[in-house]
Structure 1
Amino acid sequence: MSVQAAANPDALVSPDEIRAQFSRAMSAMYQAEVPLYGALLELVGEVNAQALAQDRQLAARLSATGEIQRLDMERHGAIRLGSAAELATMRRLFAVMGMYPVGYYDLACAGVPVHSTAFRAIHEASLQHSPFRVFTSLLRLELIENRELRELAAGILARRNIFTPRALQLIERAEAAGGLNAGEADEFVQQALETFRWHREGTVGAALYQQLSDQHRLIADVVAFKGPHINHLTPRTLDIDAVQAGMQGRGISPKAVIEGPPPRRCPILLRQTSFKALQEAVTFVEADGSDALGSHTARFGEIEQRGVALTPRGRALYDRLLEATRKVAGGAPNEEGAAAYMATLSQQFQAFPDDYASLRRQGLAYFRYFVTEQGVAAKARGELAQELEALLAAGHLQCEPLVYEDFLPVSAAGIFQSNLGDNARDSYGQSANREAFERDLGAPVLDELALYAETQQRSLEQCAEALGLAALA
C-alpha cells in the first residue's frame, strides 16, 4: 500500500498499480499450479543476466529507455472465452486495470476457431509501470460444423458465469466512482484472479468432452470447464535461442520452431517459443452424477523476445518475406522440417535491413527520441542544430527502438497449434469478422500501429519543447 493510500484510505489507486498487483498475483498462482513454469522463469533470468553482462551496449540501451526496470515482469498471459457476454464483461474487468483492446487477430485462417485481441496499457508511461497484457480469444461457435454439437456448446456456455459476484460489484464500483481505493483494489485483484484459476473438474461428461475435442481441442478447452483458466504466462528474454537450447537441459520439452522472424543483430517484432502443454488429470461429471477420470492438455509456458515495432512499410516487408519463406518451405514449419524451415527463413530475411540506422532512415521501424546532455549544453551555448537529422548527427538527440508490444497472428496460431496437437485443420477459410468481434466486445479495437506512431511523435514533441525548437518531424 502506498503512503498516500495509507494516509487517505479513500484515495483511488492508479489502474497501472492495480495491473501490476494483478500481474504479480497471477504469476504466483500460475507457478503454484504449473511448477515447471517456475523452472522456466529461473532459466530466463539466468539467460537475461548473461546477455546483459556480455553486451554492455544492450544494457545501456535498455537503461536509457527504462526497459531494464521491467525486464523481469511477465509480459503477457492468454485466455479463451466462450461467449459475447463473457468478452464484454472481460473488457470492463480489464478496464479497471487500465487495459484496453488493441488489435484484431483472426486465427481461424490458420485452423484455430477463434478471433482475438490483446488487452494492454496504451501509453508508454503506463507500459513502463507494468507491461502486462492478456491475449484474449473468443471461440467462434459458428465454425463448429456439427449443428447439434454447436447448439449444445452454446447452451453450456450460456449457463456458466465465469466472474464472481463480488468481482462484478467491484467493476461497477470502479465504473461509477472512477476507480477503486486501496482496500477495494486488493479485493478486486483476488476476486478477478478466481476467473483465471484452474479447475480440475469438467462441466460435461467424458463422452461429450471427447466429441468437443474431436471437433477441435481448443473447443473442448473452452466449453468443458468452469472458466477461462489462464493457459500460459510469458516472461521476456533477451536471447530466445539460448532459452530454447537451455530448456532441454532443465527437463523442459520445447516446441520445435521459434515463431516469428529469424535471429538478428537488431531484433524486430516478436519471437516466441514455448514448452509443450502438460497433460493434466481432470474429473468429468456424468449425467447420472457420477465422476469419470480423464485428462486434458492445454496449459503451457511461453517465452518471448521482443524487438522494435515496425511501421506499415516495415510490416509489409515482414509479411512478404514470411510468405515467401512458407512458399519455399511448403507451408508452416513442423518438427521434422524445423531446421530446413529456419534456414529458409534466415535466407529470405537477408532482404530486411539489420541495423537500426537503416531501419530508421528507410521508415521501417518506430523509435523514441531523447535529449542528450550534449543537446542541453548546446542549447545553453546557442549552438543547437535545428533539424532532426542534424540533431542526431551532432549528438544533441539520441533515438532508441520502440519495443513492439503486440502479437503476430501467424505466430499466435503456431503456438496454439503446437500445444493442441498435430491433428488440427489447416484453415477455416476466409472467415475474419472484425465487425462481429467488436460488436461482441462492445467497443472498437484500437489500431496498434497508430499507437506506436503516437508514441514516436510524442517523444519528438517532448524533445522539441525541451530544446525550445519548432516541431520536429
Structure 2
Amino acid sequence: MTDSPSSASALVSRDHVRTLFSRAMSDMYREEVPQYGTLMGLVRDVNADVLAADPALAADLARADELERLDLERHGAIRLGTAQELFTMRRLFAVMGMEPVGYYDLSVAGVPVHSTAFRPVTDTALSRNPFRVFTSLLRLELIEDEELRAEAAAILKRRAIFTPGALALIERSETAGGLTREEAERFVREAVETFRWHGEATVDAATYKRLHDAHRLIADVVSFKGPHINHLTPRTLDIDAVQTGMPERGIAAKTVVEGPPTRACPILLRQTSFKALEEPIRFGGAAGAVEGTHTARFGEIEQRGIALTRKGRALYDTLLAEVRETGGAGSEGADYAARLTEAFRRFPDSYDEIRRQGLGFFRYSLREGASPAFNGPLDAAALDRLVAEGAVVADPIVYEDFLPVSAAGIFQSNLGGAEQRAYEGHASRDAFEAALGASVADEFALYQQAEARSLADLAARLGPAQSRAVA
C-alpha cells in the first residue's frame, strides 16, 4: 500500500488512515473541549523550550526518529460496554494498523474495567504516527447489585455505537486488504461519529443516579449513545513544567503526577491531567426531559521514558508498591512526591547503568563515521566495549504502552473519587481476549524484538562474521 496512490483504486497505507483519523479526532476534541486547545499550546511551548535548551536531546530524538513524531503523538481513551463492541472496535482499529497490546486489570484500584491499548507495533509505523487508544471494557460482573447489573446489560444491548457506513468500510478493508484514498476519508468521517460527545443520556435521571451511585464510571459507560472519547493526550518532554504551567493558563491541574518521580533518565510513563468537565446533559423519561450534569471528559498529558525489561519492571513495581502501601497512604499526602523520590533512589538513573543491569531496552546503531576495528563475536562484552568507545550508540527504546495503577489514578481523579489505594484485583485476561476475538500482544516481546533487530543490523554492518553471533 502507498501514501501516494497513482489511481483512485490504489490502496493507501494503514499509517495514512491512522494519521487522518488522529487528526480528525484532535480537531473534534478541540471543538468539544476548548481547554484541550489551551493544553496543546502549553505542551508545544514547553517542548520548544526543552529542545532549545538541550540541543543534544534534540539531536538524540532526531537520530532515533522521534523528533518528527512528537507533534503528532497522541493517545486517546474510551470505555466500552459489551463484548460485541470490543470485538468490532478491534476490527475498526485494524483498518488503521492498530493492534491490541497488553492486558490491564484496573480493578486493582477499584475501577470495574479491564483494558488493552490499540496501537501500531512496527518501528516504521510508530515513527510515522504512534497514535494509541487505551480501550476499556466494563466488568458488569463486578456490579454487586444483581438487579442493576441486569438493567445495565439490557440498556447496553439496545445501543449500536458504530454507523452502518463505518461497518461497511471495515468489511471493505478486510476483504480488499485496505482502503482507497476516498474510502479512507469516508471511513474517518464515519468512524469519528462513534467517539463524538452526545449531551442526551439514553436513560432517565433515576436510572442514571443508581448507576452513578454504583460507580461513576458505570454511569459514564451505560448512560450514553456511545463511548465518547474521554481524553486525548499529547506527549511532553517535561511534564513537571506542564504541571506548573497549567494553573498559569487557567487550567485546574490534577494534584499528583502519576508514575515514577522526576528523573534525569525518564522511565516508563508519567501522566497528569486537568480536572474533568462538569457538562450539561438531558435525561429522558415518562415525565419528560430533565436537565442534569455529567463529569467524564478531561485533558491529559504524558511524558514517555525508556521501556523497561521484565527485570526493570519488577523493580519499578516493587518500589511503587512500597510507596503506595506505606501506612495505607496510597497516592495521598503532601509528602507523596518526596516518598516516591526517596524510594526510587534504588533505581539507576543513568542510561548506561540501566543498560548494563539489563533493566531497559535499547536500540543499537553504528555511530555515523565510526569504523571500529572489530573481530566478533558481538557478545555482551564486545557490545559494552563498542558502546564505551563511542563506536556504537545505544538509544533508549520509548515505552509505548501504559501503567494500570497510573491509568486507574487518572480515572479515579477525574471521576471524582478519592485517590486510589490497593484493592483486590479481578484479572480475567481469558475473558477479555474471548470478547476481543484475538490475543493481546506481549509488550515485552515487542520491545525485545525491536532491540534484537537493531543488534542484527549492527552485526551486519560490523561484518558478515558478526551477523551470526548477535548478543
Shared fold (TM-score greater than 0.5)? Answer: yes
Aligned position for 1:47: 46
1:385 is displaced (CA, Å) by 5.5
> 2 CA distance for matches of 1:363 and 1:75?
29
Aligned position for 2:437: 442
Q: Does 1:171 align with 2:170?
A: yes
1:384 corresponds to which letter in structure 2?
F
**Residue by residue, what CA displacement relative to the aligned partner does 1:332-385 show, whole Å, maximum 9, x if unpaired?**
213xx1x3011000000000000000000000000001122233x44xxxx335
Aligned position for 2:121: 122
1:390 is displaced (CA, Å) by 2.7
1:465 is displaced (CA, Å) by 1.7
Aligned position for 2:4: 4
> 2 CA distance for matches of 1:329 and 1:252?
32
> Does the CA contact (< 8 Å) of 2:276 and 2:414 recur in 1?
yes
Aligned position for 2:328: 330
> Does the CA contact (< 8 Å) of 2:269 and 2:403 recur in 1?
yes
- Structure 1 gap ranges (5+): none
Aligned positions, number = 463
Aligned position for 2:379: none
1:397 is displaced (CA, Å) by 1.5
- SS of the residue 1:202 aligns to: strand
- SS of the residue 1:89 aligns to: helix
Aligned position for 1:255: 254
Aligned position for 1:466: 461
Counterparts in 2 of 1:321-400, with a 5 A limit? 321-328=319-326, 330-334=328-332, 337=333, 339-375=334-370, 377-378=371-372, 383-384=373-374, 386=376, 387-400=382-395
1:388 corresponds to which letter in structure 2?
L
2:104 corresponds to which letter in structure 1?
Y
CA-based RMSD of the aligned residues comes to 1.5
> Does the CA contact (< 8 Å) of 1:79 and 1:228 recur in 2?
yes
1:396 corresponds to which letter in structure 2?
A
> 1 CA distance for matches of 2:102 and 2:445?
11
**Residue by residue, what CA displacement relative to the aligned partner does 1:41-93 show, whole Å, maximum 9, x if unpaired?**
00011011111111122111111101110111232000000000000000000
> Does the CA contact (< 8 Å) of 1:385 and 1:391 recur in 2?
no
Counterparts in 2 of 1:220-369, with a 5 A limit? 220-288=219-287, 290-328=288-326, 330-334=328-332, 337=333, 339-369=334-364
2:374 corresponds to which letter in structure 1?
L
| Deviation beyond 6 Å, 4+ runs, structure 1 | none
> Does the CA contact (< 8 Å) of 1:111 and 1:424 recur in 2?
no
**Residue by residue, what CA displacement relative to the aligned partner does 1:203-258 show, whole Å, maximum 9, x if unpaired?**
00011111100000000000000000000000000000000000011110011100
- SS of the residue 2:150 aligns to: helix
> 1 CA distance for matches of 2:390 and 2:419?
53
> Does the CA contact (< 8 Å) of 2:260 and 2:340 recur in 1?
yes
- SS of the residue 2:300 aligns to: strand
> 2 CA distance for matches of 1:342 and 1:140?
32
> 1 CA distance for matches of 2:276 and 2:323?
27
> 1 CA distance for matches of 2:213 and 2:236?
36
1:422 is displaced (CA, Å) by 2.4
1:143 is displaced (CA, Å) by 0.7
> 2 CA distance for matches of 1:286 and 1:4?
51
Aligned position for 2:449: 454
1:231 corresponds to which letter in structure 2?
N
> Does the CA contact (< 8 Å) of 2:233 and 2:299 recur in 1?
yes
> Does the CA contact (< 8 Å) of 1:388 and 1:472 recur in 2?
no
- SS of the residue 2:22 aligns to: helix
> 1 CA distance for matches of 2:29 and 2:225?
17
> 2 CA distance for matches of 1:97 and 1:456?
25
Counterparts in 2 of 1:51-90, with a 5 A limit? 51-90=50-89
Identity %: 61
1:424 is displaced (CA, Å) by 8.7
1:124 is displaced (CA, Å) by 1.2
- SS of the residue 1:373 aligns to: coil
- CA distance 1:3–1:117, shift in 2 (3 Å): closer
> 1 CA distance for matches of 2:33 and 2:417?
23
1:101 corresponds to which letter in structure 2?
P
Moved more, 431-440 or 324-333: 324-333
1:361 corresponds to which letter in structure 2?
R
- SS of the residue 1:70 aligns to: coil
2:4 corresponds to which letter in structure 1?
Q
> Does the CA contact (< 8 Å) of 1:321 and 1:348 recur in 2?
yes
Q: Does 1:94 align with 2:84?
A: no
Q: TM-score, normalised by structure 1?
A: 0.95
2:266 corresponds to which letter in structure 1?
P
> 2 CA distance for matches of 1:263 and 1:204?
44
> 2 CA distance for matches of 1:347 and 1:354?
13
Aligned position for 1:186: 185
- SS of the residue 1:68 aligns to: coil
- SS of the residue 1:271 aligns to: strand
> Does the CA contact (< 8 Å) of 2:330 and 2:419 recur in 1?
no
- CA distance 1:342–1:116, shift in 2 (3 Å): same
1:398 corresponds to which letter in structure 2?
V
Q: Does 1:406 align with 2:401?
A: yes
> 2 CA distance for matches of 1:3 and 1:456?
28
> Does the CA contact (< 8 Å) of 2:109 and 2:421 recur in 1?
yes
1:427 is displaced (CA, Å) by 6.4
1:423 is displaced (CA, Å) by 5.6
> 1 CA distance for matches of 2:433 and 2:230?
23
- SS of the residue 2:4 aligns to: helix
> 2 CA distance for matches of 1:127 and 1:276?
29
> 2 CA distance for matches of 1:423 and 1:269?
24
1:15 is displaced (CA, Å) by 0.6
Aligned position for 1:141: 140
- Structure 2 gap ranges (5+): 377-381
